[in-house]
Amino acid sequence: MDKRIKEIKRMWHEDGDIDDKAFYWLIQQAERVELLERENKALNDILTTLEKQDIIKLLDQNVRLIKQNKRYREALEFYADKENYKLEHFDPNLDDYMSTVDYDEGIKARKALEVNENE
């Protein structure tokens, strides 16, 4: 505890009174407390705003990642599906049949990656 406060408490308990100098000092301290409380509230408001902005950014990022994951999963499922490797598409240039994966030539994969790059 501050020496000044201890001295004022002593005066009050012993004398039942405090001098004008101590009284004005106490008023200054009360005014200082009010100022600090206003500053503290303002800082807390700023912090709350920043926290909300951070939360919004994280939520937006989460939504983008969920969409990205869905695109990647769909592309991987296409390339993982054994049915897509069956020779079903006739290529007149080759005079032969090709699989859906060969016919695709990586378009699905590039499309899934391209969307991510343009976000």
Q: Higher pLDDT residue, 58 or 115?
A: 58
Rounded to whole angstroms, how far apart are CA atoms 69 and 74?
9
Residue 82 pLDDT class (50, 70, 90 cuts): very high
Domain ranges in the chain are: 3-118
Crossing angle for the helix pair 107-118 and 20-80, nearest 10 degrees?
Answer: 170
Among candidates 55, 54, 57, 74, which has minimal Cα distance to 116?
74
At 85-114, the pLDDT tens digits run 999 888 888 888 889 998 898 999 999 987
Across residues 73-89, what is the average pLDDT? 92
pTM (2 d.p.): 0.57
At 24-44, the pLDDT tens digits run 999 999 999 999 999 999 999
Strand partners, 90: 97
Rounded to whole angstroms, how far apart are CA atoms 55 and 59?
6
